[in-house]
Amino acid sequence: MKKQRGLLINRKNSLLKPIGIFDSGLGGLTVAKEVFRFMPHENVIYFGDTARVPYGNKSKETITRFSTENAIFLKSRGVKLIVVACNTSCSLSLPILKKRLKMPIIGVINPAVKKAVEISKSGRIGVIGTNSTINSKAYDKRLKMLDRKIKVFSKSCPLFVPLAEEGWLDTDITYRTAKMYLDYLKLKNIDTLILACTHYPLLKKIIKKVMGKKVELIDSTSEVARAVKATLKQLGSLNEQKKKPGYQFYVSDEATHFIKVGEKFLGRKISCARKV
Amino acid sequence: MKKQRGLLINRKNSLLKPIGIFDSGLGGLTVAKEVFRFMPHENVIYFGDTARVPYGNKSKETITRFSTENAIFLKSRGVKLIVVACNTSCSLSLPILKKRLKMPIIGVINPAVKKAVEISKSGRIGVIGTNSTINSKAYDKRLKMLDRKIKVFSKSCPLFVPLAEEGWLDTDITYRTAKMYLDYLKLKNIDTLILACTHYPLLKKIIKKVMGKKVELIDSTSEVARAVKATLKQLGSLNEQKKKPGYQFYVSDEATHFIKVGEKFLGRKISCARKV
């Protein structure tokens, strides 16, 4: 009886453990937002590596070192599952993280790729992301693994992140920049375009304007939240207690900028972010 | 006699010691280029913090921590003087670095400011740089210290660095971005504009096009090299031996990208850059 009670307490504790999410900066808050929405009772810890952002032009070795440190930090806070919300980290370091951390880890690539293959009729799929993400060919490989016949066309768009961070979401300059990057993909007659960077959904309106109505944009955030929920259910760790959840935010640089811009990404107030 | 010979050897060794230069990335190579030109016999060690670049949107505390680590690295390599080629580091951390390192340290602000005050006729001076540089008001304070009557107008131009790194030095998009940032300074009738970021000289042509011929652009690189030479002379540490100098390059991320882009900044081959 005592043993059974102990097991029950253990299970309850494990349900209450938070979900950990990390990103190179604040872009991953778009994923956090969906996690909050899909699993309204889960406690969440978010870590943004704002002192070393961006990852998009850095090497595999450096990105893997940073990502491992971020994941170890979250593990040390007792999370039950880690979401790697940074496309660059996922493209270059996900298999290594899974091997090193030995705990459930979910990235942003698989959910987006599955959705794209499901939606695309012509089998011609575009991928846009940072230099490191595109050069890694992680999306191309995963798409081909699901369906060998798929044609993948990718293009890195290095100015999209600084444009989004500058808040120039719907300016003529951003439109011209988008045309400069995307005209190549338009020529390739794709019918589906994966936004392989957490900042890009902020530029959706302009990307849509350049690509035209017939091209479906895949923004992986809700797909990732769905995958997290499915995994937790499968592991028996989904927290469905109707209590108000706790959200904690950590950053590696000063919190002021993170809070100010982060609230826009998250669509809700961030009462506190701690520097670690 | 023996003691005197020992002193002579010490002096010769001290002359041969390298000059250390650091920057958040590769922008500081524009300063290195001028140091090579003005002091063709000096050995030089350059360090680019490419794993944590850029510094321009980060906090004073983080920038000071990174800058101190960079300076300590150069000191450990036995340099006789350190040039802080990063405007953001100088704006936020130079006094602290000087206090902590206790060795000759030269920044990029003073030389540029002196030159601007010397050249300006109207006393209306503009400053452009990263968010952190402009918010620090380091240039404003220094200009006012030299001449209280000077009117300073500053503007941060966060997209200039990514545009320069993308290689869009003379495109319509860059011109429109420059107009967006600089029209405010044009309205202020400045006659001198300080380019307070090592990347900005790459966009000189477009900045000139927007500001008009009457506005003098101050690019501090040659002023900095002059200041280094004067300081070494004053300290009796200027190396004028007619030997071929040695140049060493160190980076905190993989060297490939640094070498490829760095050669453009430096205008000469980089045979090797070591990751530390």
Per residue in B208-242, pLDDT (tens digit) is: 999 999 999 998 888 999 999 999 999 999 998 88
CB contact under 8 A, A166 and B158: yes
Query: Are residue B244 and residue B176 in the same domain, yes or no?
Result: no
Both tokens of residue B1? 């006699």
A167 has a chain B CB within 8 A of its CB = no
Provide the whole-model pTM. Answer: 0.90
> Alpha carbon of B16 to those of A209, B43, B76, B105, B111: distances in Å?
60, 7, 15, 18, 25
Query: Are residue A92 and residue A117 in the same domain, yes or no?
Result: no
User: Average pLDDT for residues B68-94, to the nearest whole number?
Assistant: 97
B173 has a chain A CB within 8 A of its CB = yes
Burial class (CB in 10 A: 0-12, 13-18, 19+), B269: exposed
Query: Are residue A64 and residue A10 in the same domain, yes or no?
Result: yes
Q: What share of chain B has pLDDT > 70, as a percent?
A: 96
The pLDDT value recorded for residue B109 is 97
Query: Are residue A189 and residue A235 in the same domain, yes or no?
Result: no
Last residue of a domain, one of B172, B194, B219: B219
Both tokens of residue B247? 């140049």
Backbone angles phi, psi at A153, to 5 degrees: -125, 120
Q: What is the DSSP string of chain B?
A: -HHHHHHHHHHHHHHHSPEEEEESSSTTHHHHHHHHHH-TT--EEEEE-TTT---TTS-HHHHHHHHHHHHHHHHHTT-SEEEE--HHHHHHHHHHHHHHH-S-EE-SHHHHHHHHHHH-SSSEEEEEE-HHHHHHTHHHHHHHHH-TT-EEEEEE-TTHHHHHHHT-TT-HHHHHHHHHHHHHHHHTT-SEEEE-STTGGGGHHHHHHHH-TTSEEEETHHHHHHHHHHHHHHHT------SPP-EEEEESS-HHHHHHHHHHHHTS----EEE-
Specify the pairing of strand B216-219 against strand B192-195: parallel
> Alpha carbon of B52 to those of A165, B66, B78, B195, B214: distances in Å?
18, 8, 24, 23, 38
Residues of B in contact with A163 (CB under 8 A): 159
Q: Are B105 and B82 in contact (CB under 8 A)?
A: yes
Query: Are residue A228 and residue A92 in the same domain, yes or no?
Result: yes
Distance from CA of B49 to the nearest CA of A (A): 11
Give which of B251, B54, B87 is closest to A24, Cα–Cα: B54
Look up tokens 């500053």; give the residue.
B154
Query: Are residue B209 and residue B267 in the same domain, yes or no?
Result: no
Give residue B18's identity as a one-letter amino acid code.
P
Among B158, B173, B253, the residue with its CB nearest the CB of A162 is B158
Query: Are residue A200 and residue A121 in the same domain, yes or no?
Result: yes
Q: Is B197 a catalytic residue?
A: yes
Residues of A in contact with B162 (CB under 8 A): 158-159, 162
Reduced to 3 states, what is the DSSP secondary structure of residue A86? Answer: coil
Q: Are B23 and B198 in contact (CB under 8 A)?
A: yes
Query: Are residue B206 and residue B233 in the same domain, yes or no?
Result: no
Q: Over the stretch B156-177, which tens digit does the pLDDT of each residue have?
A: 999 999 999 888 999 999 999 9
Mutate to test the interface with B, among A55, A166, A251, A260 (most CBs of B within 10 A): A166
Mutate to test the interface with A, among B57, B69, B274 (most CBs of A within 10 A): B57
Give the number of domains in chain B.
2
Measured at the CA of B9, the angle between CA B3 and CA B15, to 5 degrees, comes to 140
Both tokens of residue B13? 């060794």
Q: Are B169 and B198 in contact (CB under 8 A)?
A: no
Q: Is A272 a catalytic residue?
A: no
Tell me the β-bridge partners of A120: none
Query: Are residue A212 and residue A231 in the same domain, yes or no?
Result: no
Give which of B10, B15, B12, B5 is closest to B235, Cα–Cα: B15
Residues of B in contact with A67 (CB under 8 A): none
Average pLDDT over chain B reads: 94
Which is the catalytic residue, given A86, A90, A157, A272? A86
Both tokens of residue A247? 């959200």
Q: Over the stretch B138-158, which tens digit does the pLDDT of each residue have?
A: 999 999 999 999 999 999 999
The pLDDT value recorded for residue B3 is 60
B159 has a chain A CB within 8 A of its CB = yes
Give CA–CA dist A197/A129, Å, rounded: 5
Last residue of a domain, one of A200, A219, A238: A219
Among A62, A159, A173, the residue with its CB nearest the CB of B176 is A173
What residue in B sits closest to A156 (Cα-Cα)?
A: B166
Peptide bond into A54 cis (omega under 30): yes
CB contact under 8 A, B176 and A176: yes
What residue in A sits closest to B180 (Cα-Cα)?
A: A173
The pLDDT value recorded for residue B220 is 83
Residues of A in contact with B55 (CB under 8 A): none
Q: Residue B270 is part of a domain; what is its CATH number?
A: 3.40.50.1860
Reduced to 3 states, what is the DSSP secondary structure of residue A128? Answer: strand
Segment among A170-174, B3-7, B131-135, B269-273 with least mean pLDDT: B3-7
Backbone angles phi, psi at A91, to 5 degrees: -65, -35
Tell me the β-bridge partners of A128: A155, A195
Q: Are A35 and A60 in contact (CB under 8 A)?
A: no
What does the CA dihedral A61, A64, A65, A67 come to, rounded to 10 degrees? Answer: 160
B162 has a chain A CB within 8 A of its CB = yes
CB contact under 8 A, A52 and B50: no
Residues of A in contact with B177 (CB under 8 A): 173
Give CA–CA dist A18/A21, Å, rounded: 10
ipTM score of the complex?
0.89
The pLDDT value recorded for residue A242 is 85
What residue in A sits closest to B24 (Cα-Cα)?
A: A52
A176 has a chain B CB within 8 A of its CB = yes
The pLDDT value recorded for residue A260 is 87
Give CA–CA dist B182/A22, Å, rounded: 37
Query: Are residue A137 and residue A168 in the same domain, yes or no?
Result: yes
CB contact under 8 A, A158 and B162: yes
Mutate to test the interface with B, among A24, A253, A257 (most CBs of B within 10 A): A253
Distance from CA of A11 to the nearest CA of B (A): 41
Last residue of a domain, one of A219, A234, A249: A219
Reduced to 3 states, what is the DSSP secondary structure of residue A272? Answer: coil
Q: Are A24 and A89 in contact (CB under 8 A)?
A: yes
Structural domain including A213 reads 109-219
Run of H or E residues at A173 = helix A172-187
A51 has a chain B CB within 8 A of its CB = yes
Query: Are residue A254 and residue A120 in the same domain, yes or no?
Result: no
Compute the half-sphere exposure of residue B107: CA atoms within 13 Å on the CB side of its CA: 23
B276 has a chain A CB within 8 A of its CB = no
Query: Are residue B211 and residue B247 in the same domain, yes or no?
Result: no
Q: Is the pLDDT of residue B1 over 60?
A: no
Query: Which residues, 6+ apart, have CB-to-CB distance to B139 below 8 Å?
Result: B91, B109, B112, B113, B127, B129, B133, B152, B154, B194, B196
Both tokens of residue B17? 């010691």
Q: Are A36 and A9 in contact (CB under 8 A)?
A: no
Q: Are A128 and A184 in contact (CB under 8 A)?
A: no
Run of H or E residues at A82 = strand A81-84
> Alpha carbon of B227 to those of B14, B39, B107, B133, B215: distances in Å?
19, 11, 9, 21, 24
The pLDDT value recorded for residue A220 is 83
User: Average pLDDT for residues B9-23, to the nearest whole number?
Assistant: 86
> Alpha carbon of A173 to those of A1, A85, A215, B187, B223: distances in Å?
69, 28, 22, 21, 34
Distance from CA of A52 to the nearest CA of B (A): 5
- Give chain A's residues under pLDDT 70: 1-11
Among A166, A173, A253, the residue with its CB nearest the CB of B58 is A253
Other beta carbons less than 10 A from residue B170's beta carbon: 12
